[in-house]
Amino acid sequence: MASTKARHPAVSEKSPSKTIETLARDPLASDSDRRTARSENFPVASLALPRPYRRPFRVIYAYCRGADNIADASPDTESALEALDIWQQQLEAAFDGKAAFPLFQRLQELIENIPLTKQPFLDLLVAFRRDQHQTIYDTRDELLDYCNYSAIPVGRMLLQLFGKDEERFQRQADVLCIGLQLTNFWQDLSRDRPRREYLPTEDLARFGLHRESLDYQPTPPALEKLIQYEVTRTLPYFHAAKDLSKMLRGRIGFEIELIRQGGLRILKKVSRKGARVFSERPALGRMDWLWITLRSLF
C-alpha cells in the first residue's frame, strides 16, 4: 500500500537498454535492493508479513522501484521515455511467459501462480511517463489524478497478491495509497525541488505565495501555514483507511497497519518541521518504529 516516489542515487548515464539491464536484476538476490527497502518509511515484506507473501512482495516492490528509478535518474527525457518503453515491453513479455531479465522472470513466476492482472502495472508507468512532461501541478485535482497512477496501482497489486481484490478492500486501499503519496510529496520537498513541484499552484496562491517565495530568506511566515494546510488536508486519507487492517485481518492486516501508522508518523514529523521541510527531510528513527509497532498492535 505504499507510495513509490522516493529519491535514490542516480543511475549512471548509459543507454536505456543498459539501464534496464542494471535495474532489472534479480530482486531476491540483491543486497542493494534489501538496503533500499530498509530505507523506506514503510515496511517492505517485513517479518510481520506471512512468509509466503514476502518474496512476491519484494518482486512487486522491485518492479515499482525500478520503474521509478528509470524516470528519475535518466539523463534526459528522451532516454527516460525510451527506457520506460523497454520496461513495458519486458512487462508484456512476462505476462506472455517470455521474460528475458531476472526481475521480469521473477514477475513471470508470480503471474503463473497468482492471479495478477496487467493493468495496475501499466497504470504505474503512466505516472512515470507523466513525470517526463509535467513538473508543476496547478490544482489539487491535477495532483490527485497523478496519484491515481503513481500510488493507487501499488495498492491494487498488493491486494491481488493477498487475494483481497474486492471493491470493499480497494476503496480503503486507494485512500491509504493517496495519503501515503501526498505525505511523500511533503516529506521530499527538499529533494524534489526544483526538478518537480508537487505543491499545487492554487494552494500557494491561497496563502499569497508563488513559486519564487519558496526560496526567499528569511522564510515567509505564510509557508508555515501552507505546510500545515497540506498536512491537515492529507490526514483524512489515513483516517478513511483505518478499517483496512481489520478487514484484512491477521498478519497481513498488521503489515498494512504498520504502513498506515508509518505514514501518519511521517506526516506528524512534517507538521513539526513546518517550513523547514524545504531544507530538511524528516525521517523515521528507531524510536519512531517502536511507536509505530505499538500503535499497530494496540
Question: 10-residue block means of pLDDT along the chain (298 residues)?
Answer: 52 67 80 52 74 93 92 82 95 97 96 96 97 95 98 97 96 98 96 91 96 86 96 98 96 95 96 95 92 93
Total Cβ atoms within 10 A of residue 8: 13
pLDDT at 24: 83
Position 74 scores a pLDDT of 80
Q: Identify the pLDDT of residue 43.
A: 65
**pLDDT number for residue 9:** 41
Q: CA-to-CA distance for 251 and 57, rounded, in angstroms?
A: 14
Contact partners, residue 50, CB within 8 Å, separation at least 6: 250, 251, 252
The reported pLDDT for the residue numbered 72 is: 67
pLDDT in the model for residue 31 = 58
Q: Which residues pair with 197 in a beta bridge?
A: 136
Q: Please state, in angstroms and as integers, the Cα–Cα distance from residue 95 to each residue in 70, 204, 229, following that order.
A: 21, 43, 43
User: Rounded CA gap, 229 and 295, in Å?
Assistant: 25
pLDDT tens for 190-203 read: 999 888 999 999 99
pLDDT at residue 10, rounded to an integer: 44
- Give the C-alpha separation, 282 to 263, whole Å: 12
Fold of the 16-297 domain = Farnesyl Diphosphate Synthase (1.10.600)
